[in-house]
Amino acid sequence: TQLLEQSPQFLSIQEGENLTVYCNSSSVFSSLQWYRQEPGEGPVLLVTVVTGGEVKKLKRLTFQFGDARKDSSLHITAAQTGDTGLYLCAGANNQGGKLIFGQGTELSVKP
C-alpha cells in the first residue's frame, strides 16, 4: 500500500515568516502534485513535479521532488495571510488513475 506522510500536520506562523512542509513516502511515484484547499472547497492544483531532483517555483512557493521520487517539499517565503489553507501532496503512479493523498498540512498565517 502506498502511503504519503506529511509533516507538520499543523503550522501557525506570523506573516513574513518562512516555512517548509514535507511529504515523505517509502514508495516511488511517477509524479507528485501539491494542492491547496480552502474550507468548503475542493483541492486546487498548485504544481506537478515529475523528475527526481526537480525544483519548481511559483512566486513565493518553491517545490522540490526528491532524487529518488519518494519525497517532496514545499517552501513558502515571506508567508502572507492569504496563504492560509490546507496544503496537500498527492502521488500518482503508472498503475492506474488514482491519486494517493497525504493527510495534509493545515497552515495558519497570522497578521
Partner 1 sequence: DTGVSQNPRHKITKRGQNVTFRCDPISEHNRLYWYRQTLGQGPEFLTYFQNEAQLEKSRLLSDRFSAERPKGSFSTLEIQRTEQGDSAMYLCASSLGAPGWDTEAFFGQGTRLTVV
Which residue ranges make up the site for partner 1 (CB under 8 A)? 4, 6, 9, 30-31, 33, 40-45, 48, 50, 88, 90, 92, 94, 96-104, 106
Which residue, 20 or 93, has its beta carbon nearer to partner 1? Answer: 93
CB of 36 to partner 1, least distance (A): 11
CB of 69 to partner 1, least distance (A): 12
**The three-state (H, E, C) secondary structure of 61-103, written as one string:** EEEEECCCCCEEEEEECCCCHHHCEEEEEEEECCCCCCEEECC
Query: Alpha-carbon distance 5 to 9, whole Å?
Result: 9
User: Residue length, the chain?
Assistant: 111
Which residue, 82 or 97, has its beta carbon nearer to partner 1? Answer: 97
CB of 88 to partner 1, least distance (A): 5
Reading the block at residue 20, the C-alpha cell is 517548509
Which residue, 6 or 109, has its beta carbon nearer to partner 1? Answer: 6
